[in-house]
């Protein structure tokens, strides 16, 4: 049910009121209206007005010139910026992303007509209520993403809208209306006009949503090759993994060595696992893709969600995709480690666990265990045992970092180890000893081992 009144922050009410006091129209517009209708808390509140930028500046005095060429100025209230944009009509889009020029208009309808989707083309003020010219409220009720006007024109104007359709679909759990989906598929090549940074932002928002599996819509719509040269390899790796899992199941069921009762158990357990790993999603053009939904069970952490999606393709492909998409180095580094160990079957034994923990940050190690639980559900019990051992290792304060080794490089130099490669090698040899047995992490014991190593090296030199 569409509310007659939307509660707005007092700052927004004050800004709208001040513009109206000076004789101008003013409305909250776009995503904030959509979210308020859905009962979600808007991330920000955008304002549209009939006042031109210079008139807005006169009304409020102190403003920030956010984008005067597009009619936008920002007003600060309680350390929060509120963007105020003049009603406008976008001119011709020459590069598939930005209008060559914008023309200010006195008509709210014309401003709403230029927006991407109907659910983002609604305005609101207490005086007029919800202004919904293009059926946005109806589409919200039907839970669908539909372009304003002709979908082909909207996507041709700005190709980023193609990925925004997928992203909103994932964030809201909406379907994509048939004509919008068809235009999206047909205009897939126009994604070449979108910067890789902007592509990455939309895909990341999709993966961090409650329905990260909707990223498979990019494969179903034929977008993958235009997102990244390497992107199709990821979907191929997932399909190969599912095929292998299916073949393994069939082999177990057909094996003469497996009792009938065990075969029934295998069927039941594997069906449950596959249901957890894969769900069938019918795309709006009757195209179907096998999509993994298990990522929704993972925390919405950027490196973790991306590594889950990329892990089946391997570490090298993971890094290549993220670099193509201009991902930040911190996320790349973490995803690289996670994808490297994603399918490593870690033995629930203290030494093995300490070695694994030493290879990554504590947070990344915890993410790895979560990752393995959804990638290898058949090993959930073993992973839980590893998690228990890791907890004990941390509680005891076992040395799993070189910086907590009981001796330092300075100590080794004083013990007669020459600075350079030999010093680093000795430190790592001692660290390995400690990872195998935490009791070794005592200065006297490690220095005694240094003497043993020196004698062994001298003996080797003498024989040579």
Q: Which residue has the tokens 């003013």?
A: 26
One domain, residues 156 and 271: yes
One domain, residues 122 and 160: no
Q: How far apart are CA 170 and CA 145, in angstroms?
A: 11
Using the 3D structure, point to which of 106, 134, 162 is the last residue of a domain: 134
CA distance 152 to 305: 31
Residue 122 located in a structural domain: yes
Residue 129 falls within a domain, yes or no? Answer: yes
DSSP, collapsed to helix, strand or coil, labels residue 40 as coil
Residue 269 falls within a domain, yes or no?
yes
Left (φ > 0), alpha (ψ -120 to 50) or beta: where does 92 sit? beta
What whole-number distance in Å separates Cα of residue 461 and Cα of residue 327?
A: 49
Q: Is 423 left (phi over 0), alpha (psi -120 to 50) or beta?
A: alpha
Q: Are 107 and 17 in the same domain?
A: yes
Q: What is the CATH number of the domain that holds 274?
A: 1.10.110.30
Task: Tell me the three state secondary structure of residue 322.
Answer: helix
Residue 93 DSSP label: B
Predicted local distance difference test score (pLDDT) of residue 458:
64
Q: What is the pLDDT of residue 315?
A: 97
State CA 392 to chain mean position distance.
31
pLDDT of amino acid 456: 72
- Alpha-carbon distance 246 to 227, whole Å? 29
Residues 236 and 289 occupy one common structural domain? yes
Tokens matching residue 269: 């357990």
Co-location of 215 and 287 in the same domain: yes
**276: number of Cβ within 10 Å:** 15
Which backbone phi and psi does 12 adopt, to 5 degrees?
A: -70, -45
Residue ending a domain, choose from 297, 332, 349: 297
> How many domains does one find in the chain?
3
Same domain, 76 and 192: no
Is pTM beyond 0.75 here? yes
Per-residue confidence (pLDDT) for residue 250, from 0 to 100 = 45
Report how far residue 314's alpha carbon sits from residue 258's, in angstroms, rounded to the nearest whole number. 32
Please check whether residues 213 and 124 belong to one and the same domain: no
Is residue 311 in a domain? no
In a domain, 97, yes or no: yes
Q: Kindly state whether residue 247 falls inside one of the protein's structural domains.
A: yes
Contacts 24+ apart (CB under 8 A), 91-94: 93/156, 93/157, 93/158
Given this model, what pLDDT does residue 155 score?
96
Number of helical (H) and strand (E) elements in the chain, helices listed first: 22, 13
Instruction: Return the number of other C-beta atoms located less than 10 Å from residue 461's C-beta.
Output: 8
CATH of the domain at 121: 3.30.460.10
Mark which of 269, 297, 325 sits at the end of a domain. 297
Residues 120 and 190 reside in one and the same domain: no
Domain co-membership, 166 together with 283: yes
**Domain of residue 105, residue span:** 10-134
Whether 136 and 128 have beta carbons less than 8 Å apart is answered as no
Q: Could you tell me if 160 and 276 lie in one domain?
A: yes
Same domain for 127 and 175, yes or no, is no
State how far Cα 337 lies from the chain centre. 17
The answer to whether residues 190 and 291 belong to one domain is yes
pLDDT (0 to 100) of residue 242? 73
Residue 77 belongs to a domain: yes
In the chain (464 residues long), the average pLDDT of successive 10-residue segments reads: 88 97 97 95 95 94 84 93 93 61 91 96 96 97 97 95 97 96 96 96 97 93 94 92 58 57 51 43 40 81 97 96 97 98 95 97 98 92 97 97 95 91 93 96 94 73 50
Contact in structure between 234 and 310 (CB atoms under 8 Å): yes
Does 266 fall in a domain? yes
């Amino acid at each position: 049910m569409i509310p007659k009144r939307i509660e707005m922050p007092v700052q927004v009410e004050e800004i709208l009121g001040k513009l109206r006091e000076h004789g101008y129209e003013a409305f909250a517009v776009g995503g904030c209206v959509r979210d308020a209708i859905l009962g979600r808390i808007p991330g920000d509140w955008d304002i549209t007005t009939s006042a031109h930028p210079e008139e807005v500046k006169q009304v409020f005095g102190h403003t920030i010139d956010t984008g005067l060429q597009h009619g936008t100025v920002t007003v600060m209230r309680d350390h929060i910026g509120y963007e105020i944009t003049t009603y406008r009509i976008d001119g011709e889009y020459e590069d598939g992303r930005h209008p060559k020029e914008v023309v200010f208009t006195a008509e709210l309808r014309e401003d709403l007509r230029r927006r991407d989707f109907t659910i983002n083309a609604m305005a609101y003020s207490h005086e007029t209520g919800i202004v919904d010219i293009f059926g946005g409220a109806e589409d919200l009720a039907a839970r669908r993403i539909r372009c304003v006007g002709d979908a082909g024109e909207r996507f041709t104007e700005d190709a980023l809208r193609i990925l925004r359709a997928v992203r909103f679909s994932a964030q809201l759990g909406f379907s994509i209306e048939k004509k919008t989906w068809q235009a999206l598929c047909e205009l897939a090549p126009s994604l070449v006009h979108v910067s890789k940074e902007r592509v990455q932002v939309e895909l990341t928002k999709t993966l961090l949503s409650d329905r990260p599996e909707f990223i498979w819509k990019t494969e179903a719509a034929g977008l993958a090759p235009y997102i990244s040269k390497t992107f199709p390899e990821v979907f191929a790796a997932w399909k190969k993994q599912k095929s292998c899992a299916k073949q393994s199941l069939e082999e177990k069921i057909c094996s003469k060595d497996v009792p009938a009762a065990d075969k029934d158990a295998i069927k039941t357990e594997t069906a449950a696992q596959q249901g957890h790993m894969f769900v069938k999603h019918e795309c709006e053009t009757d195209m179907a893709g096998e999509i993994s939904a298990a990522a929704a069970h993972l925390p919405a952490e950027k490196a973790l969600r991306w590594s889950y999606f990329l892990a089946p393709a391997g570490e090298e492909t993971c890094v290549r995709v993220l670099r193509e998409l201009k991902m930040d180095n911190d996320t790349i580094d973490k995803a690289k480690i996670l994808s490297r160990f994603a399918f490593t079957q870690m033995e629930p034994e203290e030494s093995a666990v300490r070695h694994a923990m030493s290879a990554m940050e504590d947070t990344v190690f915890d993410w790895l265990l979560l990752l393995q639980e959804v990638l290898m559900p058949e090993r959930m019990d073993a992973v839980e045992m590893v998690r228990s051992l890791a907890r004990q290792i941390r509680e005891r304060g076992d040395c799993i970092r070189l910086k907590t080794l009981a001796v330092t490089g300075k100590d080794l130099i004083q013990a007669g180890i020459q600075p350079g490669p030999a010093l680093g090698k000795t430190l790592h040899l001692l660290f390995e000893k400690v990872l195998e047995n935490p009791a070794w992490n005592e200065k006297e014991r490690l220095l005694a081992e240094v003497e043993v190593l020196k004698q062994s090296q001298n003996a080797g030199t003498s024989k040579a």
